[in-house]
Amino acid sequence: MKDHSQPNQKIDAMNKKTPTIPASQLPFNSPSWVLKLTIGLIGMFAFLQVYSIQAILPVLMMDLSASEVQAGMVVGATVLAIAIMSPFLGMLSDAVGRKSFIVGALLFLAIPTALIAQSPSIGWMGMWRFLQGLSVPGITVVTIAYIGEEFEGRALTELMSFYVSGSVLGGFMGRFLLGHLHEMIGWRYGYYVMAGMTLIGALWVIKMLPSSHHFVANPNFRSAIQTLGEHVTNRYVVTACLLGACVLFSLVGCFTFINLHLAKSPYELSTGALANIFAVYLIGVIITPLSTKLLRRFGSARTVRVAVLVSMAGVLLTLVTPLWGIIIGLAVMSSGVFITQSATISYIAVNVKKGRSLASGLYYMGYYAGGTLGAWLGGLVYARGQWSLTVCLLLFVQVLALLMASFGMIKTKSPAP
């Protein structure tokens, strides 16, 4: 009997040729543009709220009398919740189902998003942000499991590419929309708009996402716990988790506190201008497919080393005075981060044969835990030495990543296409 306790069976399915579900069983002869759009929208709405607050941090510090450390922890609250829940929601979904879980998580996400608008203090906002994060893995992890179970071959790869593109777009759109909504109607009403968008997304998924055909409830928690014990002593998994932590530490630390830097003299950028700068985040749409070629030629270990060096160069560029130089630095830095993340995930996929979904969950736990630390430590350091000392912290973490890639990763090559 096929084991449905592993959400990421998609990795094994990649080697097959034909869709599992006959086209006649799905609406619009799936995978049609409607289904692709739906999967992309799920990815977008999952990440729409995660980093949206970064664009309005300077305003929040004034409106809610918050310090740099408190502002950083509000960013990190959502990331922390995602880190805590990532390894477990896939297992819970194995017992409950896929589509209902995704819809329920989207509906739940809209509630704390609306409540953020009522926040009387930075502490209350942090609590609502934490609740947002609890629902995000219920969308992301379960959607990946749904795609892996229901599709194979080309259909699977196409839908996964739309999901990843939607996720990157959501990370950008959250920052972009909230920054401009604040200038038009204020950030409190802006969050009401964001909550309404999430509700619309949930309704779209209810109507357009086909129900599961191959899901079989299998709450095999004992086996999952045994596999968990094996993973925490697995060199491949541990190295990937530590690298993932360094990756998001750098990304969150950089893109959170560069806003405070650019809101001050001599730049004094508005929330709308800060939101526009996050367009460099869209480089992930281009970089992620290109990184596949690097992985095939050089393997994960070499690719990570080069990508970390590129990211370090980008961080150093943000120390220049001209705004255009800082923007180039952010683009270079984020490029290195996206390549590192892609290579690290590939490293797990190639080298971990058992319990891949749980290994991926542990990776994301480490990844988002690193983001939480980046928000917290970044706030402490920025409060002491502004942006220049923050850059030193980011470089220190990236040196750690470089050491892990050089001495921790076993030099294996990705399989040929």
CATH number at residue 310: 1.20.1250.20
pLDDT mean over 115-123: 94
Last residue of a domain, one of 219, 234, 251: 219
Number of separate domains in the chain = 2
Give pLDDT tens digits for 60-109.
999 999 998 999 999 999 999 998 988 777 667 666 778 888 999 999 99
Q: What is the DSSP string of 303-355?
A: HHHHHHHHHHHHHHHTTSSSHHHHHHHHHHHHHHHHHHHHHHHHHHHHH--S-
| pLDDT, position 9 | 45
What pLDDT is stored for residue 8 in this prediction? 45
pLDDT of residue 288: 66
Question: Are 202 and 252 within one domain?
Answer: no
Between 228 and 326, the more confident residue is 326
Task: Supply the pLDDT for residue 414.
Answer: 44
Domain housing 257: 221-417
Statement to judge: residues 178 and 312 lie in one domain: no
Q: Choose among 25, 28, 219, 194: nearest CA to 111.
A: 194
Q: CB burial class (10 A; 0-12, 13-18, 19+) of residue 107?
A: middle
Q: Is the pLDDT of residue 393 over 90?
A: yes
pLDDT score for 19: 42
So what's the pLDDT on residue 24? 38
Residue 225 shares a structural domain with residue 108: no
**How high does pLDDT run on average in the chain?**
83
Across the range 341-366, mean pLDDT stands at 74
What pLDDT is stored for residue 158 in this prediction?
73
Q: State the pLDDT at residue 311.
A: 93
Q: Which residues of 369-390 are buried (b: 16+ CB within 10 A; e: fewer)?
A: bbbbbbbbbbbbbbbeeebeeb
Between the alpha carbon of residue 239 and those of residues 41, 80, 231, 336, the distances in Å are 32, 20, 11, 18
Q: Measured between alpha carbons, how far is 242 from 407 in angstroms, rounded to an integer? A: 13
| pLDDT bracket for residue 20 (50, 70, 90) | very low
Model confidence over 186-208: pLDDT tens digits? 999 999 999 999 999 999 999 99
What would the mean pLDDT of 31-39 be, rounded to a whole number? 84
Predicted local distance difference test score (pLDDT) of residue 298: 79
Say yes or no: 157 and 298 in one domain.
Answer: no
Most confident stretch, 58-72, 159-173, 276-290, 351-365: 58-72
Examine the pLDDT at 43 and tell me if it is beyond 70. Answer: yes
CA distance 1 to 163: 29
The packing angle between helices 283-317 and 356-407, to 10°, is: 30
Q: What is the pLDDT of residue 289?
A: 64
| Domain finish residue from 186, 219, 252 | 219
Final residue belonging to a domain, choices 219, 236, 254: 219
* Co-location of 198 and 231 in the same domain: no
Q: Residues 349, 365, 174, CA angle at the centre, nearest 5°?
A: 100
Are both 210 and 276 inside the same structural domain? no
C-alpha 195/C-alpha 345 separation (Å) is 31
pLDDT of residue 148: 72
**Residue 361 and residue 225 share a domain:** yes
Residue 182 and residue 309 in one domain: no
Average pLDDT over residues 47-61: 91
Tell me which H or E stretch contains 415: none
Stronger pLDDT, 289 or 257, i.e. the higher one: 257
Q: What is the dihedral of CA 296, 300, 305, 309, to 10 degrees?
A: 60
Task: Tell whether 60 and 149 lie within a shared domain.
Answer: yes
Averaged pLDDT, 227-237: 80
Q: Which pLDDT value is given to residue 356?
A: 62
78 and 152: one domain?
A: yes
Residue 112 confidence (pLDDT): 97
Q: How many helices (H) and strands (E) does the chain have?
A: 14, 0
Which pLDDT belongs to residue 416? Answer: 42
Cα–Cα distances in angstroms (integers) from residue 328 to residues 110, 143, 283, 298, in the given order = 35, 34, 12, 26
Neighbouring C-beta atoms of residue 407, cutoff 10 Å:
9
Per-position b or e across 68-93, b if 16+ CB within 10 A of its CB:
bbbbbbbbbbbbbbbbbbbbbbbbbb
Q: What's the pLDDT score for residue 28?
A: 38
* CA atoms in the 13 A half-sphere facing the CB of 25: 10
The amino acid that residue 235 corresponds to is R
Lowest mean pLDDT among 26-30, 127-131, 239-243: 26-30
Do 212 and 359 lie in one domain? The reply is no
Measured from the Cβ of residue 123, the count of other Cβ atoms closer than 10 Å reads 13
Greater pLDDT, 155 or 63: 63
Q: What tokens were used for 90?
A: 């896939």
Question: Where is average pLDDT lowest: 92-106, 325-339, 384-398?
Answer: 92-106
Which pLDDT belongs to residue 197?
96
- 201 and 258 co-located in one domain: no
pLDDT value at 16 more than 50: no
